[in-house]
Structure 1
């Protein structure tokens, strides 16, 4: 394990790209927890990011221009997710939208309404990278939903829930 250095370099590249395009992105998943704690808690298999679906085309074009390799996404997820590889690191981009009631949702997934405070506005700086994060309460809700929707049990999710509960309690 390189301590996540390779993934952090790629994440820095992504923040430079999003800044150059003037689009907001939010870090989620395990890396968001690490940024909240300002330390690397475990090895990560990927990087999870969300942005608004309106940013998708220009973001994808620029990622390809910067040598990110697009990966085919399975049919049910194609309209709400893009996956790219760079240096064997998988980067997943989820796409957000608002439903007709003005609630934040994953694009074309109206049954999953996000918390009103899901998108933090102040970036967090860790390892010389400045990025906005998904609110820890939203991250925890997502982890709690996994078991309800039949998502396979993963020990890392249990550890993430413990860390998120500690973060939220502070």
Structure 2
């Protein structure tokens, strides 16, 4: 494992510990979320991404900053917050629970994004020998599949296509 992955895993542990202490769940998604679902590192990652329920947005930000992260003013605050922690980039994006059991990000650029029921479960998976929450396979697949058709989406990258193939295999 290279130094970048070691730093990212350390930040994942620090974020999870800081938020768990306050009983705020945070779900990995993106490349690290997929790796958590698989149980091993599959590739190099540019950053670490977590979902946090919007009702915990401000409190999670305050807790992470108090624990040592630096919040960056780079994202619309109703959508997410980007951070650095010892030169490791990570972010928390915010979702809302819907009355029908699904989830969405109704505020901001991706208000047309919808996630199926069960996307944010309570069962941890294991990453680097430690329990973490990760967005469900169905949730990550829905997220990837919808992205190009979103109002502010963009075309799939090769890694998105590869991730979708892996997620479809996990969904079987």
Fold match by TM threshold 0.5: yes
1:3 to partner: Cα distance: 6.4
- Tell me whether 1:163 sits opposite 2:166 in the alignment: yes
Q: Which residue of 2 aligns with 1:78?
A: 77
Inter-CA distance 125–103: structure 2 relative to 1 (3 Å threshold):
closer
Q: Which runs of 5+ in 2 are unaligned?
A: none
1:107 to partner: Cα distance: 4.4
Q: Which residue of 1 aligns with 2:103?
A: 104
- 8 A Cα contact 1:68 1:84, kept in partner: yes
Q: What's the CA shift string for 1:22-43, capped at 9, x where partnerless?
A: 1111111111111111110000
The whole-number CA distance in structure 2 between the counterparts of 1:9 and 1:31 is 13
- 8 A Cα contact 1:3 1:40, kept in partner: no
Residue correspondence of structure 1 range 85-164 to structure 2 within 5 A: 85-99=84-98, 103-108=102-107, 110-149=111-150, 150-164=153-167
Q: CA RMSD in A?
A: 1.9
- TM (norm. structure 2) is 0.88
- 8 A Cα contact 2:102 2:118, kept in partner: no
- 8 A Cα contact 1:95 1:107, kept in partner: no
Inter-CA distance 30–160: structure 2 relative to 1 (3 Å threshold):
same
Q: Which residue of 2 aligns with 1:62?
A: 63
Inter-CA distance 85–3: structure 2 relative to 1 (3 Å threshold):
closer
Q: Which stretch of the first structure deviates more once superposed, 150-159 or 137-146? A: 150-159
The whole-number CA distance in structure 2 between the counterparts of 1:62 and 1:105 is 24
1:122 to partner: Cα distance: 0.6
The whole-number CA distance in structure 1 between the counterparts of 2:111 and 2:154 is 19
Q: Which runs of 5+ in 1 are unaligned?
A: none
Inter-CA distance 35–100: structure 2 relative to 1 (3 Å threshold):
closer
Q: Which residue of 2 aligns with 1:36?
A: 37
- 8 A Cα contact 1:47 1:90, kept in partner: yes
SS in 1 for 2:7: helix
The whole-number CA distance in structure 2 between the counterparts of 1:134 and 1:2 is 25
